[in-house]
Amino acid sequence: MFDEIMKKVYEKTPLVHSITNYVTVNDCANIILASGGSPIMADDIAEVEDITSICSSLVINMGTLNERTIRSMIAAGKKANELRHPVVFDPVGAGASALRNDTAIKLLKEVHFSVIRGNISEIKFLASGSSGAQGVDASAADAVTADKLDSVIYFAKALSRKTGAVIAITGATDIVADSGKAYVITNGHTMMSKVTGTGCMLTAVIGSYIGANHGNILDAAAAAVTAMGLCGELAYKKLCEIDGGTNTYRMLIIDYMSKMNTALLKEGAQIESR
Amino acid sequence: MFDEIMKKVYEKTPLVHSITNYVTVNDCANIILASGGSPIMADDIAEVEDITSICSSLVINMGTLNERTIRSMIAAGKKANELRHPVVFDPVGAGASALRNDTAIKLLKEVHFSVIRGNISEIKFLASGSSGAQGVDASAADAVTADKLDSVIYFAKALSRKTGAVIAITGATDIVADSGKAYVITNGHTMMSKVTGTGCMLTAVIGSYIGANHGNILDAAAAAVTAMGLCGELAYKKLCEIDGGTNTYRMLIIDYMSKMNTALLKEGAQIESR
Amino acid sequence: MFDEIMKKVYEKTPLVHSITNYVTVNDCANIILASGGSPIMADDIAEVEDITSICSSLVINMGTLNERTIRSMIAAGKKANELRHPVVFDPVGAGASALRNDTAIKLLKEVHFSVIRGNISEIKFLASGSSGAQGVDASAADAVTADKLDSVIYFAKALSRKTGAVIAITGATDIVADSGKAYVITNGHTMMSKVTGTGCMLTAVIGSYIGANHGNILDAAAAAVTAMGLCGELAYKKLCEIDGGTNTYRMLIIDYMSKMNTALLKEGAQIESR
């Protein structure tokens, strides 16, 4: 599947409109470029519909949401839906505040998402309105361990059925599922949790990949998750060679996304379907 | 010309007030420091006049404009004009949304700019109210090819006459012109387009150089464009040695700005006047 | 003292709520992670109380303040006070505009801070309502030279008595004082002033260290200041080996925070108490 997905990204250079947080926005823009897309960040209500109209996909990330940008997210999401552009949602910190909870629920109601990506605690919140989340990281109690894998896959498929979105639950083990099929991906490295925004960056790369693959959202999202995990592995290997710390690691992750290609991805992918 | 321009930057450490976007703002602040200036980012209407008053120049970049900051841009611009501080304008994405178009036109009307820097599509929009821009990058149709060079120089001089600003059109070939004279600069590297914000960073460096050279805006802007292009070349050479990717490249560009000096600039400059 | 402070940080992984500026926010989030904490950036009035309630400490940094976030700073600060969470204040640019001056004074009145960290010009402004500040850097006239050290220590202790906060004045020589005791720290490197946000990053690390050491704010703040200075030294040493520039230096500072430990800190600390 990787050949076709990657080829389309490189052919199309998809424009990706992002309404995202100001913490990790630079890394998100750079990793969209590195992945073969082209980023536009714009969040004012007066222009989000114009901007999303010229793009191939829309990323909505609620990392540093506020009243002004929530309205823009909804307006842009509705416009993207109208134009049949895929929209990916990153419910950063869902479960951590009433504002985040209400916003996530409102967005799910008002906008149709093609992909929803979050950690297990965030996704559980979306499904049930409650979670064990502590801040913006998944809680230990929610961790996707081997014995829970089957039930999490079942859960992801059910949530996909309910929302119509591909569900990407990322952590030590990643699950990317639609209502009928799930990919289980074990690429990645634990050190990625020591860099702020690896989740946001992954969501941005999903935006890039699905922007060039409107007809195959599940595989495009799974390819993005695999590519990001592999970048984490390759970057870690390099980091050990040069004895770097966590900020060098951040940079190397983006570097490897800019070096990613079908051959590397096929060789390194740890993915199976269920 | 480089000796004099650079000497004044190092002597003055110009304070540069920037009202800019939240995507590339950290890189802009760091490259202002690297170039010999000192950055202050402030965008609230209640303080932009105070802040611009203590600075040597003002940068207005509309990368992630919104209703709140547009008012601040105008207020700061008028104050800088009143104090005869040079103001540089980066019309990011002009042509991509009605909001950007209206704002660019409003800013041109309300504020006198010393320098306007953009890609060819953005500058064409300012001149004519239309362009082939797609998002925040120049369109291929607008590209400044060898056979179009003379006409683009003519165009830049005419726009300078009309606006009173030095016009800097940057791309594979850069043109920096006032109404009477144009510099053609061919420094730079194509990989710079794989890093978000190299345009914004250049505008920031222009802010730094003109902040220390109020009496010689054309040469200061041309020196900044040359220095930035040369940083792109030196960074690319280093990048190949260490086999890095696009985010290492981003870092190296700023690194070389911090190492730039008159000798390096004279040796590497690919600049001619027309 | 370092053993105990560091041990608690690693045991607790303190959640640090930051209301900070959009210039250096990514570096602040990454250095909080590197220091052993976990960052949450949230600034909307509708959620800051919720977010601060689940955290261990609160950082208020007024680097790019605006009307919207000032209200959030006050609401979050009051909530943190109510919950007895330590709050650290970074009065970026106090003295540079009426808005900053008024906000700093208002915050001091409305919120009880556990630590206030700034350069000498900013802290002088807080104490007296005036300073020699030029922009966001300390003025040369205010510099803490050897002959002024005793009087600055006296000043810091007096301000601590007045405000109830530990006062951290950072520059070539750092002073961290409560009303009875002062630490004088001479770690650090002059090149740190060529990187934007080393002050903000330090404040973020203080947030992390005091978040895990509610009972020992003075030592925790002093340990953070020492660790940050030492990172600046270690990064500079490495930078010379690889012949890097200022942006590589930025990255290395965060890298060394991720490698910091009690042994390194004890070995490198240049700290004495007065």
| Digit-coded pLDDT (tens) for C95-118 | 999 999 999 999 999 999 999 999
Is the Cβ of A137 closer than 8 Å to some Cβ of chain C?
yes
Residue A117's DSSP bridge partners are: A168
Put simply, the answer to whether B26 touches C27 (Cβ < 8 Å) is: yes
Distances (CA, A) of A220 to A170, A271, B86: 15, 13, 48
Element (H, E) at A265: helix A262-268
Helix, strand or coil, per DSSP, at residue B89: strand
Q: In chain A, which residues have their Cβ closer than 8 Å to the Cβ of C34?
A: 194, 245-247
End-to-end CA distance of chain B: 15
Centre a 10 Å sphere on the Cβ of residue C64 and count the other Cβ atoms it contains: 22
Cα–Cα distance between A53 and C168 in angstroms, integer? 50
Q: For residue A37, what is the nearest residue in chain B, using CA coordinates?
A: B194
| Nearest chain B CA: its distance from A29 CA (Å) | 6
Task: Fill in the amino acid letter for A166.
Answer: V
**Residue for token pair 């020591």:** A194
- Those residues of chain C that have pLDDT short of 70 are 130-135
Q: In this predicted structure, what is the pLDDT of residue C137? A: 77
Residue C183's DSSP bridge partners are: C176, C273
Paired sense of beta strands A38-41 and C174-177, if any: unpaired
pLDDT bucket at B56, cuts 50 / 70 / 90: very high
Compute the C-alpha angle B244/A6/A21, nearest 5°: 70
Put simply, the answer to whether A246 touches C41 (Cβ < 8 Å) is: no
Compute the C-alpha angle A66/A71/A72, nearest 5°: 95
Q: In chain C, which residues have their Cβ closer than 8 Å to the Cβ of A200?
A: none
Average pLDDT, chain A: 96
Q: What is this model's ipTM? A: 0.96
Is the Cβ of B134 closer than 8 Å to some Cβ of chain A?
yes
Q: For residue A194, what is the nearest residue in chain C, using CA coordinates?
A: C33
Answer with the residue of higher pLDDT: A194 or B274. Answer: A194
Q: What residues contact residue B177 under an 8 Å CB cut-off, 6+ apart?
A: B153, B156, B157, B160, B166, B167, B183, B218
Per cent of chain B over pLDDT 90 is: 92
pLDDT bucket at B133, cuts 50 / 70 / 90: low
Contact status, residue C53 vs residue A98, Cβ threshold 8 Å: no
Cα–Cα distance between B219 and B210 in angstroms, integer? 9
**Residue for token pair 């120089």:** B153
In the predicted model, what is the mean pLDDT of residues B117-134?
84
- pLDDT for A207-251, tens place per residue? 999 999 999 999 999 999 999 999 999 999 999 999 999 999 999
Q: In chain B, which residues have their Cβ closer than 8 Å to the Cβ of A47?
A: 97-100
Q: For residue C56, what is the nearest residue in chain A, using CA coordinates?
A: A135
CB nearest to C245's CB, from B22, B34, B51: B34
Put simply, the answer to whether B30 touches C63 (Cβ < 8 Å) is: no
Q: In this predicted structure, what is the pLDDT of residue A129? A: 74
Q: In this predicted structure, what is the pLDDT of residue C193? A: 97
Put simply, the answer to whether A67 touches C51 (Cβ < 8 Å) is: no
Q: In this predicted structure, what is the pLDDT of residue C130? A: 65
pTM, to two decimals: 0.97
Cα–Cα distance between B42 and A56 in angstroms, integer? 33
Average pLDDT, chain B: 96
Q: In this predicted structure, what is the pLDDT of residue B137? A: 77
> How many C-alpha atoms does B72 have within 13 Å on its Cβ side?
29
The two three-digit tokens of residue A266, written as one number: 């096929």
In the predicted model, what is the mean pLDDT of residues A178-193?
98
pLDDT bucket at B141, cuts 50 / 70 / 90: confident
In the predicted model, what is the mean pLDDT of residues A19-39?
98
The answer for C 238-257 residues in CB contact with A (under 8 A) is 250-252, 254-257
Q: In chain B, which residues have their Cβ closer than 8 Å to the Cβ of A259?
A: 245
User: In the A/C pair of chains, how many CB contacts fall below 8 A?
Assistant: 92
- Of C29, C133, C198, C121, the closest CA to residue B29 belongs to C198
CA torsion angle A44 A47 A48 A49 (round to 10):
150
Put simply, the answer to whether B15 touches C135 (Cβ < 8 Å) is: yes
| Nearest chain A CA: its distance from C107 CA (Å) | 22
Q: In this predicted structure, what is the pLDDT of residue C132? A: 58
Contact status, residue C238 vs residue C250, Cβ threshold 8 Å: no
Chains that touch B (3 or more CB pairs under 8 A): A, C
Count of all residues that appear for chain A in the document: 274
| Nearest chain C CA: its distance from B259 CA (Å) | 7
| Nearest chain B CA: its distance from C52 CA (Å) | 24
Q: What are phi and psi of A35, to 5 degrees?
A: -80, -5
Contact status, residue B212 vs residue B12, Cβ threshold 8 Å: yes
Sign of CA dihedral A53, A54, A60, A65: negative
Put simply, the answer to whether A258 touches B245 (Cβ < 8 Å) is: yes
Q: In chain B, which residues have their Cβ closer than 8 Å to the Cβ of A254?
A: 245-247
CB nearest to A254's CB, from B65, B137, B246: B246
Query: Is residue A94 over pLDDT 90?
Result: yes
Put simply, the answer to whether B29 touches C197 (Cβ < 8 Å) is: yes
What does DSSP assign to residue A145? -
Mutation site for A-interface testing, chosen from B139, B200, B239, B247 by largest number of A Cβ within 10 Å? B247
- pLDDT for B184-239, tens place per residue? 999 999 999 999 999 999 999 999 999 999 999 999 999 999 999 999 999 999 99
Over the Cα atoms of chain A, what is R_g?
Answer: 17
Put simply, the answer to whether C40 touches A96 (Cβ < 8 Å) is: yes
Q: In this predicted structure, what is the pLDDT of residue A34? A: 98
Helix, strand or coil, per DSSP, at residue A19: strand
Cα–Cα distance between C98 and C61 in angstroms, integer? 17
Task: Fill in the amino acid letter for A153.
Answer: I
Put simply, the answer to whether B40 touches C135 (Cβ < 8 Å) is: yes
Centre a 10 Å sphere on the Cβ of residue C41 and count the other Cβ atoms it contains: 26
Compute the C-alpha angle A185/A196/B93, nearest 5°: 100
Residue-wise DSSP of chain C = -HHHHHHHHHHH--EEEEE--SSSHHHHHHHHHHHT-EEEE---TTTHHHHHHTSSEEEEE-TT--HHHHHHHHHHHHHHHHHT--EEEE-TTTTS-HHHHHHHHHHHHHS--SEEEE-HHHHHHHHHS----BTTB--GGG---GGGHHHHHHHHHHHHHHHSSEEEE-SSSEEEE-SS-EEEE----GGGGGSTTHHHHHHHHHHHHHHT-TT-HHHHHHHHHHHHHHHHHHHHHHHHHHT--HHHHHHHHHHHHHH--HHHHHHH--EEE-
- pLDDT for A123-152, tens place per residue? 999 998 765 555 677 777 788 888 899 999
Q: In this predicted structure, what is the pLDDT of residue B264? A: 97
Q: For residue A253, what is the nearest residue in chain B, using CA coordinates?
A: B247
| Nearest chain B CA: its distance from A202 CA (Å) | 16
Query: Is residue B136 over pLDDT 90?
Result: no
Question: CATH second-level architecture of A2-273?
Answer: 3-Layer(aba) Sandwich (3.40)
Q: In chain C, which residues have their Cβ closer than 8 Å to the Cβ of B15?
A: 134-135
Q: In this predicted structure, what is the pLDDT of residue B132? A: 59
Put simply, the answer to whether A29 touches B23 (Cβ < 8 Å) is: yes
Sign of CA dihedral A17, A18, A22, A27: negative
Is the Cβ of B91 closer than 8 Å to some Cβ of chain A?
no
**Residue for token pair 């108490």:** C273
Chains that touch A (3 or more CB pairs under 8 A): B, C
Q: In this predicted structure, what is the pLDDT of residue B143? A: 83
Contact status, residue A152 vs residue A126, Cβ threshold 8 Å: no
Q: In this predicted structure, what is the pLDDT of residue B134? A: 59
